[in-house]
Structure 1
Amino acid sequence: MAKDFSRSHRVAEQMQRELADLLQFEVKDPRVKMVTITAVEVTGDMAHAKIFYSASKASDSLQQGLEKSAGFLRTQVAKRMLLRTVPQLHFVYDASIDNGMMMSKLIDEALATNPDNVPEKDKK
């Protein structure tokens, strides 16, 4: 049975904090300035890490900028975290925030067209 809070999970959380700091203060590429790291998943053997990110404007140039800075980020993470094996970084766009905003908009539109369906506690 796996532990509830495994080493790979702890490494992923620390890596998320370090990557967010590095992207904000160290990376000079203007394509990656407004990126939010939403989650990090590290494999059990610490060979690979999926970094899920979100941005106000998702584009191919943003993805290319992240992939281009992956070597620098990996080197800096190795220095900061003192890991024997530093995972390869794979960046994946996280569309969950966009999907949540779209769902919220659809719900607001549905309530606006039929105000009789609004619960009593939400009526003003």
Structure 2
Amino acid sequence: MADPARARKIADRIKVIVAKALERGIKDPRLGFVTITDVRVTGDLQHASIFYTVYGSDEERADTAAALTAATGMLRKEVGRNLQIRLTPSLEFIPDAIPETSARLEQLLAEARERDSASQAAAAGAQYAGDPDPYVKPRQYDEDDED
């Protein structure tokens, strides 16, 4: 098992190599506007998971996924040539869910703001349900009550 710091450095290096290769090396017309967001390498440096996002519609995302799958061998060869380690890790491209997650989070925050404002509006005109002073006070005896 490799040192975690070394695995992190290799992951960063793979991220740069793949990004440059996508920028200048692949001539596939299906490839859209791709951003490599993260790379994770296993502890034994045998497998690299590359997370990416694509700007565009669902069809463009599907086309880009197909183009990346087709170019995996060429990209692995490029990674092996530039890393200069004994074994070149296998590459796996995974679409990153950051845009969808952030959109859902924004939607939930807007919904929470609406509920909060509705709650504040309801509380503004609210009255207590019971007595104005609900606490029990000690009983006061009149002098007439003493038997």
Same fold (TM over 0.5): yes
**Shift of residue 110 of structure 1?**
5.3
Q: How far apart are the structure 2 equivalents of 1:64 and 1:55? A: 12
Aligned residues: 116
Structure 2 segments unaligned to the other structure (5+ residues): 120-147
Shifted more, 53-62 versus 108-117: the winner is 108-117
User: Are residue 78 (structure 1) and residue 104 (structure 2) matched?
Assistant: no
Structure 1 runs of 4+ aligned residues shifted over 6 Å read: none
The CA RMSD measured in Å over matched residues stands at 2.4
Question: Which position in structure 2 is the counterpart of 1:67?
Answer: 69
SS at match of 1:74: helix
Percent sequence identity over aligned pairs: 32
Q: Which has the larger radius of gyration?
A: 2
Question: Which position in structure 1 is the counterpart of 2:45?
Answer: 46
Give 2:96's match in structure 1, choosing from 86, 94, 97.
Answer: 94
Q: TM-score, normalised by structure 1?
A: 0.77
Q: 1:7 to 1:109 in 2, by over 3 A?
A: same
SS at match of 2:48: strand
Structure 1 segments unaligned to the other structure (5+ residues): 118-124
SS at match of 1:30: coil
Q: How far apart are the structure 2 equivalents of 1:47 and 1:32? A: 26
**Shift of residue 109 of structure 1?**
5.9
Residue identity in the other structure for 2:50:
I
Q: TM-score, normalised by structure 2?
A: 0.67
